[in-house]
Structure 1
Amino acid sequence: MSAQIPQISIVVPFYNVELYFHQFLDSLLPIEDNIEVILVDDGSKDSSIDIAIDFTQRFDNVTLYRKENGGLSSARNYGLQFAKGEYVVFFDSDDYIENKSAINKMFETAKQNNSDIVMAPYYEFINFDKKKFRFDKINFEGDLVLLEDKMDILFKNNISLAVWDKMYKRDFLKKNDLIFKEGLWFEDLDFIFRSFYSANKVSKIETVLIGYRQRPGSIMRTISSKILDKAIVLDGLYDFLKEKNKLEVYYEKFKILYIKMIFSIIHSVLMNKGDEKVKQGIINNVFDLLFFQKVIKEELTYKSYFSNLEKILFYLIKFKIITRNNVGFIRYFNILRKL
């Protein structure tokens, strides 16, 4: 009797996550035979590989692949080439699967609606006793079909710009050459933007799928100059719209997304740990960005897409009340979130 061809492939890259990996796999497995789990060791130096081997021995639908360290994007791309499922999911190895049934619900929704992408709600957590549910990041009604609707949901930042709360049709990814940019942080922003642009339909379910773990060693909590990769990704998306002859159509809305993302860099630098010289160097680089200098001088057609805090910060920088030299004053704006 031949083995069942999986309907869903789950790609899980891992690198030195021994503290969380067992808990993640316990939350995911066992799982139905119509789902294959592809574990990709990205050159781990700790006991993560032993944990992976243990689970592959316990479950027939779990496969382990090993490669030299190349980063998260490289590991995702590597795992994707082995996927056999009609649909594919990318999970991070330190997160927590809240409800395994949501995976098949996403698949059923995708098949019923002929969707290229299906989303599910998630929550953020440090400890399980304090979950922050992010229903605001799946903020749309019905299916997204029109390009304008798909782009608006991105420009308004009303969905998560992460890959792990979504399911993708594998043929759709292949047809549109949708892989992860290697060597850059914030590859999810690039992948989500391009995949939403290309998708024939984006659907959602209401069942919470996953918990996103926020841990001290994450990108956004220990500041590095690599955070400036977000600006590089944004420049790439600008070029993407230009290549598609859509830059003129979406320029005003793209400005909003660009400013939001640049503000997120500034916020992360100010609110998280890191060498002060490195942090000031990042701030200097942000204020030197040519496109940022350009758009901060321009009027905003869609300033309603901003939060009140973002509007305040935009005008403080626009009128040079906030500069690279006194940007630390922004810390006090956290008080505004509680008003």
Structure 2
Amino acid sequence: MPSASVLVPIYNVEKYLPACLESLRAQQGDFEFLCLDDGSTDGSARIAEEFAEKDGRFRLIRKANSGYGDTLNRGLAEARGEYVGILESDDVMYPDALEALLRAARDVRADLAKGTYSLWWSADGRDVVQHEVPQQLLGKELRPREHDFCYLLKPTDWSCVYRAEWLSREGIRFLPTPGAAFQDTSFMFKALCSTDRAVFLDVPIVHYRQDNEGSSINSESKAYAVCGEYDEIERWLALHANDAFAARMRLGFQVSKLNAYLWNLDRLGDDLAPEFAHRIASEFSAYASRGEIDWPAWDAWKATNLRAILRDPEHYLDVRRRYHGPGAAAKARFALHLAGPAGLAQALGGRRG
């Protein structure tokens, strides 16, 4: 049995695939690399085949096009490793990253070991390592759903290894919806909330490419794909309503959902954004009408944003479009225009996320 299987979902990425697979080839260990070609029409499958000829750890699996989630589920079914990891076909893995994750997982017998990543612009060489986990929690065995930070993590399923037997036992799989996107969202939420034993590292695992124009994060055609992911999380939460941490998971779900919806709102053009702003208001109004929003538990600044959307989604969108942006100065300007001095105080003193 290989110590780990790495799943590489592939679809028309011949421009980026050689660097991705070369970074896997450089990993030292008893691994298998499953190149999952989802019906590519370019030279991607041929590139993967060449790597399989050079290194017996690579295996090419060809399939008809069915989308990201279904492709990764096929990979999970085919994987033979004790642990399973994922590498997107336009990204690059850091040297020795896989061994670092496996060593950490085995040290505490974890179901899940998660590292960090860098935001990478290959054109100009920028590579900015992200630090998402509180320092005092790094390298320790923990139960993620007990900690607020886990609900604020970006759903980077490719910065982890997962114990394969545990994923199967818990039934954790990807949504197979064809043509959808962001299918790492529900997978990561369920994984983090299901395990009683995880470990987090401040070790970069993947150079996460930011300048692939074909990436789903840059596609307006999938404006509502993220909604299906949160529908799936909500379905899963209903099955775990008696969990000792159900209330915390419900709060974490709502905050995570609002964060993701606002991120989606910011990337949409003027033709789609107003409709999506109303979608946010509609879904959270339903929670409020059923008494499912625990307002005192919310971060004050995040609650101010949500209340503003519920009052007038188009006004909120207008203020956000005019003043919101990266950096502390833009955050302060947006807060002042949205909620005055009180909003500024909340924004400057609020929790991350």
| TM-score normalised by L of structure 2 | 0.81
Question: Partners of 1:323 and 1:270 in 2: how far apart?
Answer: 13
What is the Cα-based RMSD across aligned positions, in Å? 2.7
Which of 135, 140, 143 aligns to 2:140? It is 143
| Aligned residue runs from structure 1 range 80-95, under 5 A | 80-95=76-91
What amino acid is aligned across from residue 123 of structure 1 in structure 2? S
- Equivalent residue letter for 1:328: D
Structure 2 unaligned regions, length at least 5: 333-353
Relative to structure 1, the CA distance from residue 165 to residue 236 in structure 2 (aligned partners, 3 Å threshold; closer, same or farther) is same
Q: In 2, Cα distance between the equivalents of 1:31 and 1:141?
A: 23
Greater shift, 194-203 or 82-91, is seen at 194-203
Taking the aligned partners of 2:195 and 2:244, their CA distance within structure 1 comes to 21
Runs of 4+ with >6 A deviation: none
The 8 Å contact of residues 39 and 62 in structure 2, kept in 1 or not, is answered as: yes
* Aligned: 1:316 with 2:313: no
Question: Aligned letter for 2:48?
Answer: A
Deviations 1:192-249, CA, capped at 9 Å, x for gaps: 121122213111233311111122222232313x332323322332232222224795
Maintained 8 Å contact 2:173/2:187: yes
Q: How does 1:190-269 map to 2 (within 5 A)?
A: 190-214=186-210, 215-224=212-221, 226-246=222-242, 250-251=246-247, 254-255=250-251, 257-269=253-265
Q: List aligned pairs for 1:1-339, cutoff 5 A.
A: 5-99=1-95, 101-127=96-122, 129-136=125-132, 140-146=137-143, 148-149=145-146, 152-155=148-151, 157=152, 159-183=153-177, 184-214=180-210, 215-224=212-221, 226-246=222-242, 250-251=246-247, 254-255=250-251, 257-272=253-268, 274=269, 276-289=270-283, 291-295=284-288, 298=293, 300-304=295-299, 308=301, 310-318=302-310, 320=311, 322-324=312-314, 327-331=317-321, 332-334=323-325, 337-338=328-329
Does the aligned pair in 1 maintain the 2:88–2:158 contact within 8 Å? yes
Report the CA distance between 1:300 and its aligned residue: 1.6
How far apart are residue 120 of structure 1 and its match? Answer: 0.9
1:107-159 CA distance string (max 9 Å, x none): 12212210000011211122362122111257633435346425x3333x0x3
Match of 2:271, SS? helix
Number of residue pairs matched?
322
Once residues 197 and 330 of structure 1 are traced to their aligned partners in structure 2, the CA distance between those partners, rounded to angstroms, is 32
Distance in 1 (CA, whole Å) between partners of 2:275 and 2:258 is 15
- Residue 293 (structure 1) shift: 4.4
Q: How far apart are residue 7 of structure 1 and its match?
A: 1.0
CA distance in 1, matches of 2:279, 2:110: 40
Identity %: 21
2:277–2:309 contact (8 Å) kept in structure 1: no
Is contact 2:138–2:202 with CA below 8 Å preserved after alignment? no
In terms of mean alpha carbon deviation, does 122-131 or 138-147 score higher?
138-147
Distance 1:103 1:138 in 2: 22
- Report the CA distance shift for 1:266/1:33 in structure 2 as closer, same or farther (over 3 A): closer
Counterpart Cα distance in 2 of 1:9 and 1:294: 40
Q: CA deviation at 1:160?
A: 2.8
Q: What is the rounded CA distance, in whole Å, between the counterparts of 2:17 and 2:167 in structure 1?
A: 27
User: What does the per-residue CA deviation read over 1:94-118, in whole Å, with 9 as the maximum and x for residues that have no partner?
Assistant: 001122x121121122122100000
Q: 1:76 to 1:265 in 2, by over 3 A?
A: same
Distance 1:103 1:299, change over 3 A: closer
Relative distance call for 1:259 and 1:8 in structure 2 (3 A) is closer
Distance of aligned partners of 1:50 and 1:124 in 2 relative to their CA distance in 1, 3 Å threshold:
same
- Give the superposition deviation at 1:66: 0.3
SS at match of 1:208: strand
Change (3 A) 1:201 1:71: same
Which whole-Å deviations, capped at 9, do the CAs of 1:238-267 have from their partners, x for residues lacking one?
232222224795446634542443343344
Distance in 1 between residues matched to 2:216 and 2:121, nearest whole Å: 15
